[in-house]
Structure 1
Amino acid sequence: MHTGDGSETHGAEGGAITVRRDVPTGTEGRVAELYWEAFGRKLGAALDPPDKGRRFIATHLHRDRGVVALAGDHVVGVAGFQLGGRGLTGGGPADVLRTYGAVRGLPRLALLALLERTPAPGQLVMDGIAVDAGHRGRGIGSALLEEIARVAAGSGCDRIRLDVIDVNPRARALYERHGFTAVRTEQTPYLRRLMGFTAVTTMHRSVGDRRDETR
């Protein structure tokens, strides 16, 4: 049920899941934990060790650039997006250097730059989607994507863009069920040892293009 205020409630085995915009105050650490579980291999090269990386993400989180799934008041899923030059995961060069120091920080900035994706005009870019392992298979990823599409439409965007790595076929299948199509693939063999993937596929979906999917 869509409540009209950016929230949506889904009845599911194990209790209702509520989807809402904005990361609730006080849950930044939990969101950072979910992000690290999903993307730690990719982020770890730049933000290791894990405890320090999670703290960095939590400290610099832009709460208004996220959509979350809640089981009660517990965050069990999150999807980040970029709009107006800001994404869910923040922290600029000065923050990285302040946290890691100049000697260790500069190489980290170079690695983070490889992950940057800048939206084109009229485009919302998804930063990533992460669902708690114990709550997968309940349609949470689909619900988060639906709410992201509403955010894009309400922001005047005509296209949603995301990037998926070659070692995450499950995520790609989810995106394809929601109408995303691949537009190009960049081979990145130089990132295999550092971040664990060798190709990145960019996918687009027109806002308003929704496909039925099995939950």
Structure 2
Amino acid sequence: MTEPTLHRGIPTDADHRVAELYWEAFGRKLGPALGPPERGRAFVAAHLRRDRAVTALLDGRVVAVAGYRHEGRSLVGGTAAQVARVYGPLAALPRLAVLALLEHRPGPGLLAVESIAVDGALRGRGVGTLLLAELDRIAAEHRYDGLTLDVVDTNPRARALYERHGYTVRHTARTPWLRRPLGFGAVTTMVRPLPDPGR
């Protein structure tokens, strides 16, 4: 396989492709907040923050995306008012509550890796590792001490990838009440320290 090329940001006219990958990876979790799928993908595409992404391209097509949180801004935005405008004022309230549950708040000095989504046909071929390495570089450029991410108990493959890349467990929160609506019953926060660059 030709190795994908990395691109910081989202290429022009690739918003819907990024939203498709994002929903493929996280639709089970996001469904109660942004579903049904067609509407959810449209919401994600309309509220992408292009400067909070790293994408991987193969033959000019986006095959993977990683989103991160920096200076309070994440890959997928959308205010409460925007959610209410799309889904209606009353329906927005429970949706906003679900989104608040899913939000990752990094500790001080840590860049939050909020999402990694890889085309199903390319999983297991090193694309996730390429994205994680680029996120390391972004964290170092912004002088973070390390990176942090959350992984759910139903995604052992992702956790194994993060462990191979040097992430270790900080803590696990048991969330059995979320298993039925969101599809997972525990969330593990992992951290990867970066070498001190001499500052």
Match of 2:131 among 135, 144, 149: 144
Query: 1:78 maps to what in 2?
Result: 65
Following TM superposition, by how much is the alpha carbon of 1:151 offset from its aligned partner in structure 2, in angstroms?
0.4
For normalisation by structure 1, the TM-score amounts to 0.89
Query: 2:92 maps to what in 1?
Result: 105
Following TM superposition, by how much is the alpha carbon of 1:73 offset from its aligned partner in structure 2, in angstroms?
1.4
Match of 1:185 among 172, 180, 198: 172
- How far apart, in 2, do the equivalents of 1:33 and 1:43 lie? 13
Deviates more, 1:54-63 or 1:134-143: 134-143
Task: Determine if contact 1:83/1:119 at 8 Å carries over to the other structure.
Answer: no
Partner SS for 2:170: strand
List aligned pairs for 1:9-158, cutoff 5 A. Answer: 13=1, 15-158=2-145
> Can you give the 5+ residue segments of structure 2 that lack an aligned partner in the other structure?
none
**In the alignment, residue 206 of structure 1 is paired with which amino acid?**
P
For normalisation by structure 2, the TM-score amounts to 0.96
- How far apart, in 2, do the equivalents of 1:120 and 1:26 lie? 34
Task: Determine if contact 1:149/1:208 at 8 Å carries over to the other structure.
Answer: no
- Percent identity, aligned pairs only? 57
Following TM superposition, by how much is the alpha carbon of 1:55 offset from its aligned partner in structure 2, in angstroms?
0.5
Across the aligned residues of Structure 1 and Structure 2, the Cα RMSD in angstroms comes to 1.1
Following TM superposition, by how much is the alpha carbon of 1:202 offset from its aligned partner in structure 2, in angstroms?
0.2
- How far apart, in 2, do the equivalents of 1:68 and 1:208 lie? 25
> Can you give the 5+ residue segments of structure 1 that lack an aligned partner in the other structure?
1-12, 210-215
Partner SS for 2:162: helix
Following TM superposition, by how much is the alpha carbon of 1:122 offset from its aligned partner in structure 2, in angstroms?
1.4
- How far apart, in 1, do the equivalents of 2:170 and 2:58 lie? 35
